[in-house]
Amino acid sequence: MILVTGGAGFIGSNFVLDWLAENGEPVLNLDALTYAGNLETLETVMDDPRHVFVQGNICDRNLLDGVLEKYRPRAIVHFAAESHVDRSIHGPGEFIHTNIEGTFTLLEAARAYWNMLEGTERESFRFLHVSTDEVYGSLQMDDAPFTEENPYQPNSPYAASKAASDHLARAWFHTYGLPVVTSNCSNNYGPFQFPEKLIPLTIVNAFAGKPLPVYGDGLNVRDWLYVGDHCRALRIVLSQGRPGQTYNVGGENEKTNIDIVRTVCTLLDELWPDDAAGRRDRLITFVTDRPGHDRRYAINAKKIRQELGWRPAETFESGLRKTVQWYLAHPRWVADVQSGAYRDWLAVQYGMANDMM
Instruction: Reply yes or no on whether the pLDDT at 357 is more than 50.
Output: no
For residue 181, pLDDT beyond 80: yes
- The domain 2-193+224-255+297-316 having CATH identifier 3.40.50.720: the answer here is yes
Q: What is the mean pLDDT of the chain?
A: 92
Q: What is the pTM of this model?
A: 0.92
Q: Provide mean pLDDT across the span 145-156.
A: 96
Measured CA to CA, the distance from residue 110 to residue 105 in angstroms comes to: 9
Among residues 31, 82, 86, 134, which one is catalytic?
A: 134
Q: Is the pLDDT of residue 203 over 70?
A: yes
pLDDT, tens digit, for every residue of 28-47? Answer: 999 998 877 788 889 899 99
pLDDT at residue 291 in the model = 87
Is the pLDDT at 90 greater than 90? The verdict is: no
Q: Is 134 a catalytic residue?
A: yes
Q: What pLDDT was estimated at residue 345?
A: 44
pLDDT at 355: 41
pLDDT level of residue 85 (50, 70, 90 thresholds): confident
Grade residue 352 by pLDDT with cuts at 50, 70 and 90.
very low
Confidence of residue 349 (pLDDT cuts 50, 70, 90): low
The residue annotated as part of the active site, out of 133, 166, 223, 254, is 133
User: Tell me: the pLDDT tens digits for 233-286?
Assistant: 999 999 999 999 999 999 989 999 999 999 999 999 999 998 888 899 999 999
Q: Where are the domains of the chain?
A: 2-193+224-255+297-316
pLDDT band at 308 (very low <50, low <70, confident <90, very high): very high
For 274, list phi and psi in degrees, rounded to 5.
-115, 85
Catalytic residue among 82, 86, 136, 158: 158
354 confidence band (pLDDT: 50, 70, 90): very low
In this model, does residue 212 exceed pLDDT 80?
A: yes
Return the higher-pLDDT residue of 86 and 230.
230
Residue 84 confidence (pLDDT):
74
